[in-house]
Structure 1
Amino acid sequence: MPVFRIILIILLCLLQYRLWFGENSISEYFKLQSKVEGIKIENDNLLQRNKLITADIADLKLGKEAIEERARNELGLISPGEIFYRVIPKHQ
Structure 2
Amino acid sequence: MRLVTLVLLALLGLVHHELWLDKGGVQNVRALRTQLQAQEQANAQARALNERMASEVADLREGLEMVEERARGELGMLKPDEVLVQLAPVRH
TM-score band, normalised by the shorter chain?
A: 0.5 to 0.7
Distance in 1, matches of 2:18 and 2:27, equals 11
Q: What is the number of residues matched between the two proteins?
A: 69
Matching residue of 1:77: none
Report the CA distance between 1:62 and its aligned residue: 2.6
Moved over 4 A (4+): 65-68
For structure 2, which runs of at least 5 residues remain unmatched after alignment?
A: 69-74, 76-92
Cα 1:45–1:66 change in 2 (3 A) is: farther
Distance in 2, matches of 1:66 and 1:32, equals 51
Matching residue of 1:55: 55
For structure 1, which runs of at least 5 residues remain unmatched after alignment?
A: 69-79, 81-92
Q: Which structure's CA Rg is the greater one?
A: 2
Matched, 1:33 2:33: yes
User: What is the CA RMSD across the aligned residues, in angstroms?
Assistant: 2.3
Once the two structures are aligned, what percentage of the paired residues are identical? 23
Report the CA distance between 1:34 and its aligned residue: 1.0
TM-score, with length taken from structure 2: 0.64
Secondary structure of 2:14's match? helix
| Letter paired with 1:5 | T
TM-score, with length taken from structure 1: 0.64
Distance in 1, matches of 2:59 and 2:66, equals 6
Distance in 2, matches of 1:46 and 1:65, equals 29
Report the CA distance between 1:13 and its aligned residue: 0.7
| Letter paired with 1:29 | V
